[in-house]
Amino acid sequence: MHSRPLHGTGLSVSALGLGTVKFGRNQSVKYPTAFDLPSDEAILSLLDLAREEGINLLDTAPAYGTSEERIGQLLGSRRDEWVLVSKAGENFDGTGSTFDFSPEAITASVERSLSRLRTDRVECLLLHSDGNDIDVLDHSGAVEALLTLKDAGKIRAVGISTKTVAGGLRAVELGLDAVMVTYNPWFREEESILDAAAEQGMTVFLKKALGSGWFGGEAAPENPVASALEFVFSHPATTAAIVGTINPSHLRENCRALRETLGEN
């Protein structure tokens, strides 16, 4: 699978990343259908398939329930095969989310993530915005906390998963390594962030590249996965699309569609 640089690290990430919300959380999520959390065996099989398909990028977060703990337990000695992206600022307590972007909370969150993931570093750490992107970036002290952790070698790249155009543009202005934005054929409001990021060579992770499985509702094209991937990768800023699934058939389909989109065999 095609890979692209993770800014400032010397590492490359696969163009398709595996999102892991469904590894650890099935409450208060916005997917079209309900689902049970997968067994350890099912996750291991899915991870094996992902590696066979050329995926090396795993995206997780404290807000994803038990996702971090399960990844840390199941990767074991294979941890170095993966580029891990996690987050800080949002926590999920089983019923709802709480947010804290103070330097103390961000530092504690990252240390907790390292413990859960059973690793000494994460390749990328994103602030998990509550929607007040500018306040988080400019006034909370969270960015400074991440940069301190980066200097300590516990994070290789820092960024933010944004919810506003202004926040994404501010992240580019600040010179962060990465930004995660929503972008797909049915939601193009944040395209200006990609435009700005392309000029700076910044890493851009896309969330909801497939519309979280809704595919634009009744207006969905005949092959919505291929259409969505062709659209998002037509923008030169796109580094990787993070797509969450626990269905092996869907994972294979996503990888096949991406290879065709990027002209790979």
Return mean pLDDT, the chain: 94
Q: What is the pLDDT of residues 36-90, one digit of tens each?
A: 999 999 999 999 999 999 999 999 999 999 999 999 999 999 999 999 999 999 9
- Position 239, amino acid: T
142-151 and 103-117 helices, crossing angle to 10° = 50
- CATH number belonging to domain 3-261: 3.20.20.100
Q: What is the pLDDT of residues 125-140, one digit of tens each?
A: 999 999 999 999 999 9
Region 178-197 average pLDDT: 96
Domain boundaries, the chain: 3-261
Distance separating alpha carbons of residues 146 and 155, to the nearest angstrom: 8
Q: What is residue 94's predicted lDDT score, i.e. its pLDDT?
A: 84
Region 183-204 average pLDDT: 96
Q: What is residue 194's predicted lDDT score, i.e. its pLDDT?
A: 98
Region 216-241 average pLDDT: 85
Region 14-27 average pLDDT: 95
Higher local confidence (pLDDT), 37 or 211: 37
Q: For the chain, what is the radius of gyration of the CA atoms?
A: 17
pTM score > 0.85 for this model?
A: yes
Region 145-169 average pLDDT: 98
Handedness of CA 131, 134, 139, 141 (dihedral sign): positive
The enclosing H or E element of 258 equals helix 248-261
> If pLDDT is split at 50, 70 and 90, which confidence band does 241 have?
very high
pLDDT over 70 percentage in the chain: 96
Q: What is residue 211's predicted lDDT score, i.e. its pLDDT?
A: 85
Q: What is the pLDDT of residues 92-114, one digit of tens each?
A: 988 889 999 999 999 999 999 99
User: Has residue 217 got a pLDDT over 70?
Assistant: no
Region 8-20 average pLDDT: 97
Provide the pairing of β-strand 240-244 with 203-207: parallel
Q: What is residue 215's predicted lDDT score, i.e. its pLDDT?
A: 61
- Position 68, amino acid: E
User: Has residue 220 got a pLDDT over 80?
Assistant: no
Q: Contact 136/129 with Cβ under 8 angstroms?
A: yes
Region 224-251 average pLDDT: 95
- Count other Cβ atoms within 10 Å, centred on residue 87: 26
> If pLDDT is split at 50, 70 and 90, which confidence band does 265 have?
low
Q: What is residue 263's predicted lDDT score, i.e. its pLDDT?
A: 86
Q: What is residue 164's predicted lDDT score, i.e. its pLDDT?
A: 98
User: Has residue 218 got a pLDDT over 60?
Assistant: no
Helix (H, G, I), strand (E, B) or coil at 82: coil
Region 211-228 average pLDDT: 72
Distance (Å) of CA 124 to CA 56, 77, 162, 188, 234: 13, 20, 15, 25, 24
